[in-house]
C-alpha cells in the first residue's frame, strides 16, 4: 500500500495565506512551479519575479516597512546570491521567510548543483538564518507554518529547505546528434 500523494504546494500556499503573506518574491524554479502558480492565482498576493535572489531581501524589507508580510521562494543554487543581503535583514531586525527547494542532494545528476546544494544549510546558518529541513511532503505545511510564526512574531530570519527527495530529482537525457 502506498502513501497518498501530498499536494505540498497547495498546503504551503494555504499556510502562507493564513499567515498573512501578501508579497511573494521568486526566481523561477521547476521545483516551485506549482507553488508559484498558486501564489500568482491568489488575488490577495502580489508575486514579484526577480532576476536574482538577492533582490528579494530588500524587496521584502520594503514590504515589511510598508506593513505587509512576504516570502522569498528560491532554489538552493541561489543561496549563494543572498549571503551579503542577509546582513540587511539581520542588522535591521526584519523578518525573512524563505522557502528553498534543494538541488545537489538526493539523486542529483547535475554536478554543478552539488557544491551549493550540499552547503546551503551551512551558508544560511552562518548568515544567522534559522533553518528547517523537510524530507517528507506531509510535513512541509506545518513546518512552513512554524517558520512563518517564528519569523514574523520574533522578527528573525527563517528558511525552510525542501529536500530534493520531496520535489524529485531531475533527469537529464543525453541528446545524440
Residue at 31 is within a domain: yes
Whole-number CA gyration radius for the chain: 16
Kind and range of the H or E run holding 41: helix 33-41
Q: Give the SS3 label for residue 130.
A: strand
What averages of pLDDT result for each successive group of 10 residues across the chain (177 residues)?
A: 74 98 95 96 97 96 97 95 93 96 76 80 95 96 98 98 82 59
For position 19, which CATH number holds? 3.40.50.970
Amino acid 169: pLDDT: 65
Q: How far apart are CA 61 and CA 95, in angstroms?
A: 8
pTM for the full model? 0.91
Up-side HSE of residue 81: CA atoms within 13 Å toward CB?
A: 18
Q: How far apart are CA 86 and CA 80, in angstroms?
A: 11
Residue at 177 is within a domain: no
Residue at 53 is within a domain: yes
Residue at 172 is within a domain: no
Quickly count: other Cβ atoms within 10 Å of residue 73's Cβ: 27
Quickly count: other Cβ atoms within 10 Å of residue 96's Cβ: 28
Grid coordinates given for 108: 542529483
Residue at 176 is within a domain: no
Up-side HSE of residue 1: CA atoms within 13 Å toward CB?
A: 2
Tell me how many degrees the CA angle 15-142-90 measures, rounded to the nearest 5. Answer: 75
What is the crossing angle of helices 8-18 and 140-154, to 10°?
Answer: 20
What domain range is 86 assigned to?
8-167
Residue at 1 is within a domain: no
Q: How many domains does the chain have?
A: 1
Amino acid 174: pLDDT: 56
Quickly count: other Cβ atoms within 10 Å of residue 67's Cβ: 7
Look-up of cell digits 544549510? 121
Beta strand residue intervals within 105-169, DSSP E? 130-134, 157-162
Q: What are phi and psi of 125, to 5 degrees?
A: -65, -40
Amino acid at each position: 500500500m502506498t502513501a497518498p500523494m501530498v499536494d505540498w504546494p497547495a498546503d504551503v500556499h494555504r499556510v502562507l495565506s493564513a499567515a498573512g503573506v501578501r508579497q511573494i518574491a521568486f526566481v523561477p524554479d521547476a521545483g516551485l512551479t506549482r507553488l508559484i502558480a498558486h501564489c500568482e492565482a491568489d488575488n490577495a498576493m502580489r508575486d514579484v519575479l526577480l532576476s536574482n535572489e538577492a533582490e528579494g531581501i530588500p524587496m521584502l524589507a520594503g514590504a515589511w516597512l510598508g506593513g505587509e508580510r512576504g516570502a522569498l521562494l528560491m532554489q538552493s543554487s541561489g543561496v549563494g546570491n543572498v549571503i551579503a543581503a542577509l546582513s540587511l535583514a539581520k542588522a535591521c531586525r526584519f523578518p525573512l521567510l524563505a522557502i528553498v527547494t534543494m538541488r545537489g542532494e538526493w539523486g542529483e545528476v547535475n554536478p554543478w548543483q552539488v557544491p551549493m546544494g550540499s552547503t546551503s544549510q551551512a551558508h544560511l546558518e552562518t548568515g544567522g538564518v534559522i533553518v528547517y529541513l523537510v524530507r517528507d511532503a506531509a510535513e512541509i505545511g506545518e513546518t512552513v507554518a512554524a517558520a512563518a510564526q517564528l519569523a514574523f512574531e520574533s522578527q528573525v530570519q527563517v528558511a525552510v529547505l525542501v529536500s530534493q527527495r520531496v520535489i524529485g530529482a531531475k533527469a537529464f537525457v543525453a541528446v545524440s546528434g
